[in-house]
Amino acid sequence: MQYVSTRGGVQPVNFEQALLEGQAEDGGLFLPERYPQLTDKWDSLKDLSFSELALEIVSLYATDVDVDALRTILRDAFATFDDADVAPLVQIEDLHVLELFHGPTLAFKDVALQVLGRLFEHVLSQHNQVMNILGATSGDTGSAAIAGVRGRDGIGIFIMFPDGRTSRLQELQMTTVREKNVHCLAIDGSFDDCQRILKAIFNDIEFKRRARLGAVNSINWARIMVQIVYYVYATLRYDEPVTFSVPTGNFGNILSAVLAMRMGAPIRRLVLGTNENDILARFFASGKYQRGAVQQTLSPSMDIQVASNLERFIYLYLDGDSEQLVQFMHGFAEHNHATLSQNGHVDATIDARRIDTDETIATIRKTWERYGYLVDPHTAVGIAAAAHTDSEGPVVCLATAHPAKFPSAVNQAIGNARAQHPRLQVLDEKHARKVKLPADQQEVRSYIELNIIK
């Protein structure tokens, strides 16, 4: 399988290159040149375990990775989950939830990042290479990325976060990791400062090459690819087409559902839930993509005003017309807005809804009172969005984080300390380690230079 850049400015690459490069050098994002169909073998997929199904799907895309190696990588990655089903489907009366939080850091990003860390290690060792991952996080991504690569050969990881501005649990999930290849950089500044430093360092192509810098944010194709698996896995459990409701920030998770549909999975509709940072809800209602100011909400992993993966969706919407896509992206970069569709409608299969803080809290409470089921604020946004849709058939809500990761929002809703998880309770007793640095590009770069894996 070959991969093309959405911006059409580079030659197609193979899977390993798309994996290691992350973003294409023309600034675009990689997508496969075609989407293999699952329709013919659909019934035979029903009996597969999660890990076996993952091998079926991933081997269609990672065609240049040895199948036996892939099998081991996928088996080991999903063995870190604390549920034998990996992504169990919970049904309580009319509430259907796909639990994606059974991995090491209790958020859905583990599903892809546990695979990605192992894939990196395998591919790098095949080519006798090393990699130093640099990332910035406001919360979940950092800990899941660290959990994916801790102790892996030939990989260093440097994660910047705004000191004192992530939740206490989120910080401890990163800083209590002992392995020497993990560096938590507590930046004296905001998340925007961290992102600015990240961009500046990545834009220095000479340094990027010399330090063999790599990225793990959701623009990496391999993350999108792995996430397709749970949509197919869930759809196989039903005899009729399914609607999924997906709490959305960067459009990475829901994009995998769009691609599962392209592969023939019987998905009726997609409900996209946003919090007050509703750029996507506005976009899907009006065809106009317009940046707003980021607001802090109870669902911090969705406090995003520019959804990096939307570029892939727009490319598909434009039938692969890179010229038009580049026009749209440049227009947006220049004017902070761009229009895709004049008639105000983008895609009938995506039903996008904005859910505010009050409704999020009310949904946590209602879901607890009515079903005895506790959800985190991100998941609550998806459940609330699903309640507004008029789609027929089963609606499966994605649970993207364990409620214990966001205890204050959950306790605010149900009034006592029910949101707990044993793995989070022991974090306080562990030794924490972080490097405090000023919000200064040069200082961060010097620290990286001294500590990279060579």
Ligand X SMILES: *Cc1c(COP(=O)(O)O)cnc(C)c1O
Question: At its nearest, how many Å lie between ligand X and the CB of residue 416?
Answer: 22
Q: And the tokens for 451? A: 């500590």
Distance of alpha carbon 443 from its chain centroid, rounded? 29
109 counts as catalytic: yes
Contact call for residue 170 and ligand X (CB under 6 A): no
Residue 151 in contact with residue 128, Cβ under 8 Å?
no
Contact call for residue 28 and ligand X (CB under 6 A): no
Contact call for residue 102 and ligand X (CB under 6 A): no
| Sites for ligand X among residues 211-240 (CB under 6 A) | 218
Query: What span, in angstroms and rounded, lies between the C-alpha atoms of 230 and 449?
Result: 39
Instruction: Give the residue, chosen from 103, 154, 214, 247, that forms a contact with ligand X under the rule CB under 6 A.
Output: 247
Options 4-12, 243-251, 321-329, 414-422: segment touching ligand X (CB under 6 A): 243-251
Angle at 253 between CA 323 and CA 42, to 5 degrees: 95
Question: At its nearest, how many Å lie between ligand X and the CB of residue 15?
Answer: 21
β-partners of residue 171 are none
- What distances in angstroms separate CA 395 from CA 94, 229, 367, 398, one per listed residue? 9, 18, 15, 10
Question: At its nearest, how many Å lie between ligand X and the CB of residue 300?
Answer: 9
* 337-339 and 155-162 strand pairing: unpaired
Distance of alpha carbon 278 from its chain centroid, rounded? 18
Query: What span, in angstroms and rounded, lies between the C-alpha atoms of 93 and 96?
Result: 8
Residue 384 in contact with residue 363, Cβ under 8 Å?
yes
Using CB under 6 A as the binding criterion, the count of chain residues that bind ligand X stands at 16
Query: What span, in angstroms and rounded, lies between the C-alpha atoms of 144 and 116?
Result: 11
Select from 171, 153, 155, 151 the least CA-distant residue to 163: 171
Q: Of 41, 46, 109, 208, which one is the catalytic site residue? A: 109
Q: Between 60 and 401, name the residue whose CB sits nearer to ligand X.
A: 401
Query: What track of x and - describes contact with ligand X for positions 278 through 317 (by CB under 6 A)?
Result: -----------------------xx---------------
Q: Give the position of tokens 């399914």.
A: 242
Q: Between 382 and 394, name the residue whose CB sits nearer to ligand X.
A: 382
Instruction: Give the residue, chosen from 252, 273, 394, 407, that forms a contact with ligand X under the rule CB under 6 A.
Output: 252
Contact call for residue 248 and ligand X (CB under 6 A): yes
Instruction: Give the residue, chosen from 249, 273, 394, 403, that forms a contact with ligand X under the rule CB under 6 A.
Output: 249
Question: At its nearest, how many Å lie between ligand X and the CB of residue 143?
Answer: 10
- What distances in angstroms separate CA 179 from CA 142, 148, 187, 349, 410, one per listed residue? 15, 12, 20, 44, 32
Options 38-46, 177-185, 246-254, 416-424: segment touching ligand X (CB under 6 A): 246-254
Would you say how long the chain is, in residues? 454
Q: And the tokens for 47? A: 């009996």
Question: At its nearest, how many Å lie between ligand X and the CB of residue 378?
Answer: 4
Options 37-45, 189-197, 249-257, 316-324: segment touching ligand X (CB under 6 A): 249-257
Contact call for residue 400 and ligand X (CB under 6 A): yes
Residues that bind ligand X (CB under 6 A): 107, 109, 140, 218, 247-253, 301-302, 378, 400-401
The set of catalytic residues is 109
